[in-house]
Amino acid sequence: MIELEHVTRTYTMGDQVLHALDDLSERIEAGEYVALVGPSGSGKSTLLNIVGCLDRPSQGRYRLDGQDVSELPEAEISSIRGHKIGFVFQTFHLVSRLTAAENVAFPMIFAGVPRSERGERVAAALAQVGLAARARHRPGELSGGERQRVAIARAIVMRPQVLLADEPTGNLDSNAGAQVMDLLERLQGEGLTLVVVTHDPKVARRAQRVLVMRDGKIVERIAGRDFMGLEATPSAAGAPA
């Protein structure tokens, strides 16, 4: 479960203070599928970074699975990030000289998973994303959709509770993008909490809930099936935060 309570994130630029998140409160249930949408600069990525323990609130509280992680020491934050949260990015972030299997194994090396256990878990993760036969291929030998599936295998190999995806279909054609979303939704159906940042209304409509962001606030909460696009949502002025 993800609980954000009056979260503010500010950045100082010269003599100006930028409110990337502004007194934001939200609750995402365990196993829920949520899409974050909004114009550039609305705070989507900042919110995803805080949920993923890559950043901390300037004010407010963030609880993950009931634990307040807002002010934990960095070593504890790093452990939570490595074991409870998986990340999928638009640009894949695969190491070009490593095979698919070696890329998937990377998080386990840093987490100290014994070598004897890594091979079995890598094989299981690649099979889960339909790439068991491509384990020895390097990223340059894979299609865009396959590279994103390797990235997803890497994100789930540590068996996280939460999967965060930042524009996971942004570099893919429509067919590969649909396959990636089918895969993410299958994983969510198996119990993962899934939070997706997207600019694509078709992707957002697949979520159970859509959170529309503007100016560091959530200005609307919509059932995914009812989301028609940003042009159909109210302006930040007068909209509920």
CATH label of the domain that carries residue 104? 3.40.50.300
Which residues are registered as beta bridge partners of 195? 34, 164
pLDDT score, position 120: 95
Residue 239 included in any domain: no
Is pLDDT at 238 greater than 60 in this prediction? no
Q: Contact 129/150 with Cβ under 8 angstroms?
A: yes
Which DSSP symbol is given to 205? T
Would 219 be classed as within a structural domain? Answer: yes
Predicted pLDDT at 234: 58
Is residue 82 included in any domain, yes or no?
Answer: yes
Enter the DSSP assignment of 69. -
Structural domain contains residue 23: yes
Quick: pLDDT tens for 99-137: 999 999 999 998 889 998 999 999 999 999 999 999 999
pLDDT at 71: 84
pLDDT score recorded for residue 222: 96
In a domain, 241, yes or no: no
Q: What is the mean pLDDT of residues 43-63?
A: 95
pLDDT at 186: 94
Any idea which of 84-93, 132-141, 205-214 has the lowest mean pLDDT? 84-93
Cite the beta strand spans of 65-151 per DSSP E: 67-68, 85-89
DSSP 157-190: TT--SEEEEESTTTTS-HHHHHHHHHHHHHHHHT
> What are the distances in angstroms from CA 27 to CA 44, 86, 157, 215?
15, 19, 26, 19
Structural domain contains residue 238: no
8-state DSSP, 235: P
CA-to-CA dists, residue 229 to 30, 35, 114, angstroms: 26, 12, 47
What pLDDT sits at residue 220?
A: 96
Question: For residue range 9-52, what is the model confidence (pLDDT) as tens digits?
Answer: 999 888 888 899 999 999 999 999 999 999 999 999 999 999 99
The tokens for 101 are: 């299997």
Instruction: Please report whether residue 240 resides in a domain.
Output: no
How confident is the model over 164-201, as pLDDT tens digits? 999 999 989 999 999 999 999 999 999 999 999 999 99
The reported pLDDT for the residue numbered 233 is: 64
**Which tokens hold the place of 155?**
């994100």
- Amino acid 221: pLDDT: 97
Number of domains comprising the chain: 1
Give the residue numbers spanning the domain of 134: 2-232
pLDDT band, residue 241 (cuts 50/70/90) = very low
pLDDT of 58 over the 50 cut: yes
pLDDT of residue 240 exceeding 70: no
